[in-house]
């Protein structure tokens, strides 16, 4: 990614982080530190709150941001070329903000944070 793209994507991602770090919620540093633990727990099968498809989307977004190949190159359409990188960065950061909050709740209580329903991990027995 070109330097100007990184700056634009970084600024947009920082805005998403700033909006997500409200009082009473986990700090940005706490969330960032939980990402490796979340990935490890997910890979070992202990944490099921992060779906495989969502995990693959996060990895694809990260690869897109660090890749020198752009879907919309800045050379042809400068404004859109920066916007696509910024959009992916904002989506990735806001998605990770949500996922890490759920993961930290799971670490504290053992119950995934979500829509108010409680989930019991296991299999349905007839």
User: What are the percentages of helix, strand and coil residues in the chain, rounded to 5?
Assistant: 65, 0, 35
Contact 113, 105 (CB under 8 A): yes
Q: What is the structure's pLDDT at 11? A: 66
Report pLDDT digits (tens) over 56-102: 999 999 888 877 776 666 666 767 767 777 788 888 888 898 899 89
d(CA 97, CA 118) in angstroms, rounded, equals: 21
pTM: 0.66
Q: Which of 25, 50, 24 is nearest to 37 (CA)?
A: 50
Report pLDDT digits (tens) over 14-34: 666 666 666 777 888 888 899
Q: What is the DSSP string of 38-80?
A: HHHHHHTTS--SS-HHHHHHHHHHHHHHH-S--SS-TTT-HHH
> Given a cut of 50, is residue 115 above it in pLDDT?
no
Residue 24 DSSP label: T
> Given a cut of 80, is residue 37 above it in pLDDT?
yes
Contacts of 100 (CB under 8 A, 6+ apart): 26, 31, 32, 34, 35, 38
Contact 20, 90 (CB under 8 A): no
Q: What is the structure's pLDDT at 10? A: 64
Rg (CA), the chain: 17
């Amino acid at each position: 990614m070109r330097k100007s793209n990184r700056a634009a994507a970084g600024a947009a991602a920082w805005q998403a982080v700033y909006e997500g770090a409200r009082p009473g919620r986990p700090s940005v540093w706490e969330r960032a530190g939980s990402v490796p633990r979340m990935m490890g727990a997910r890979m070992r099968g202990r944490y099921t709150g992060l779906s495989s498809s969502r995990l693959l989307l996060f990895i694809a977004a990260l690869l897109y941001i660090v890749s020198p190949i752009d879907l919309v190159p800045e050379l042809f359409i400068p404004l859109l070329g920066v916007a696509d990188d910024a959009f992916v960065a904002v989506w990735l950061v806001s998605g990770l903000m949500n996922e890490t909050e759920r993961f930290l709740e799971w670490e504290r209580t053992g119950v995934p944070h979500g829509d108010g329903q409680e989930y019991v991990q296991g299999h349905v027995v007839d």
